Amino acid sequence: MMQDSILANIVTPQCARFDTPLHLKSGAVLDSYELVYETYGELNAARSNAVLVCHALSGNHHVAGSYADNPKNLGWWDNMIGPGKPIDTHKFFVVGVNNLGGCHGSTGPASINAKTGKHYGADFPVVTVEDWVETQVRLADYLGINHFAAVMGGSLGGMQAMRWALDFPERVRHALVIAAAAKLTAQNIAFNDVARQAIITDQDFHGGDYYSHGVVPRRGLRLARMLGHITYLSDDSMAAKFGRELRNGTYAFGFDVEFEIESYLRYQGDKFVDQFDANSYLLMTKALDYFDPAHEHNGDLSAAFRAVTANFLVLSFTSDWRFSPERSRTIIKALLDNELNVSYAEITSSHGHDSFLMEDRHYHQLVRAYMDNIVT
């Protein structure tokens, strides 16, 4: 049994190649591209138990389980997805995919452009949430999945789940939209732009073509991540975790690391630079900024949701100030106006936006209860 569960949690990333040109929202065309994905559980005979998990800004296809050659590399949502977990892979066939433009195997700015034989770099087109959904639909076709029992995600992942329900109502039965928003606020776009400016103004950025210079804009990406990280936590959780703790117990009257929070942020920034591509970071933040389904409907989100048929579970977290409960209530209003089946819970949590990734009993019970009622 023990061995069985370990084996069940071992996953292998796979790659799907698409040679049908992809017309992006920006007008650009990608002739071909690859998507890296992972699957968990078994697709049933009726092909009715598939769940697509969409990732957020810095996520990827490795949503659960671990790798045979690196058992410590657990998927980013492993506490949520797996055998016996809220998204139970005994029941569901779960698909995780690295989005187009990412840097974990799917075609992105760091990939080689077949036309030039060089890294795409600055030539990689800007991608939107709609474009991602289009590529995910193609992946679903490739996997023989006509419709998903559920499409789910947190933050930017929740935006993709919404977009699925908007653009492909016949292909998604349930959407789980967690810690998301129907559009970013000006404050949110502002944070994203400071992050982008940090990267773009780094001397090693070279207009996005840093690959050919053999450098990466480390300082810029590090700052972008540090800033982002502050906004993913809450004031309270930072206070509880770090307070004004000093590394060496006393003021040094200088500018080196003194407070624990400084040490933590610098560590997070450094770690991120080794795992993430700066151009992908720019693309992901742009996809966030552009997401606004109401835009094509004169700002009327309820009108935008008119074609939606999926049932929704919308979750928010009390301390999340970057994607606050108010933003989720805007989504709820649009769903209610269209008389759709929807449930909404506002989860008490002190962990800010990052709460959606945390293991919280009530949060996980809610997801489990909702998933248990999905007929496959």
Partner 1 sequence: MASSDTITLGVLHPVRLIPAANVNLTIMTATATTAPTSPIASRPDFAAIAAWVQSGSKVLDLGCGDGSLLCYLRDTRNVRGYGVEIDDANVLACLNNGVNVIQGDLESGLSSFESGSFDYVILSQTLQAMKHTEGIVREMLRVSREGIVSFPNFGYWKNRLQVVFGHMPVSETLPYQWFDTPNIHLCTLGDFEAFCHQHGVHILERRVMNGDHQITLAPNLLGMLAFYRFEWLK
Within 10 Å of residue 8's Cβ, how many Cβ atoms?
A: 16
| 261 to 300: interface string for partner 1, x by CB under 8 A | ----------------------------------------
Write down the least CB distance from residue 198 to partner 1, Å.
37
204 burial via Cβ count (<10 Å: 0-12, 13-18, 19+):
middle
E-assigned strands of the chain?
Answer: 14-18, 22-23, 29-30, 33-40, 50-54, 81-82, 87-88, 93-97, 112-113, 118-119, 150-154, 174-178, 311-317, 342-347
Q: Which of 155, 280, 319, 355 is catalytic?
A: 155
Span interacting with partner 1, options 59-67, 267-275, 284-292, 362-370, rule CB under 8 A: 362-370
In angstroms, give the least distance from the CB of 299 to partner 1: 17
- Of residues 113, 185, 268, 343, which one binds partner 1 by CB under 8 A? 343
Considering the complex, state which of residue 17 and residue 362 has its C-beta at the smaller distance from partner 1. Answer: 362
DSSP-derived 3-state class of residue 331: helix
Cα 63–Cα 68–Cα 72 angle in degrees, nearest 5: 60
Active-site residue flag, 360: no
For the bound state, the minimum distance from the C-beta of residue 318 to partner 1, rounded and expressed in Å, comes to: 11
Figure out which of the listed residues 346, 358, 360, 376 binds partner 1, where binding follows CB under 8 A: 346
Q: Give the list of residues 6+ apart from residue 165 with CB closer than 8 angstroms, or none.
A: 151, 172, 175, 308, 309, 310, 312
Is 276:58 a contact under the CB 8 Å cutoff? yes
Residue of 131, 202, 277, 320 marked active site: 320
Contact window for partner 1 (CB under 8 A) among 121-129, 197-205, 275-283, 368-376: 368-376
Nearest residue (CB) to partner 1, 140 versus 180: 180
By DSSP bridging, strand 93-97 and strand 112-113 are: unpaired
Q: How many amino acids of this chain bind partner 1 (CB under 8 A)? A: 22
Q: Judge whether 48 counts as a catalytic residue.
A: no
Interface residues for partner 1 in 311-340 (CB under 8 A)?
313, 329, 332-333, 336-337, 339
Q: Does 373 interact with partner 1 (rule: CB under 8 A)?
A: yes
Confirm whether 155 is a catalytic residue: yes
b/e burial code for range 317-339 (CB count within 10 A of at least 16 → b): bbbbbbbbbebbeebbebbeebe
String of DSSP letters for 102-135: -SSSSS-TTSEETTTTEE-GGGSPP--HHHHHHH
**Closest distance of CB 183 from partner 1, Å:** 18
User: Does residue number 366 form part of the binding site for partner 1 (CB under 8 A)?
Assistant: yes
Active site residues: 155, 320, 353
Interface contacts to partner 1, rule CB under 8 A:
313, 329, 332-333, 336-337, 339, 341-348, 362, 365-366, 369-370, 372-373
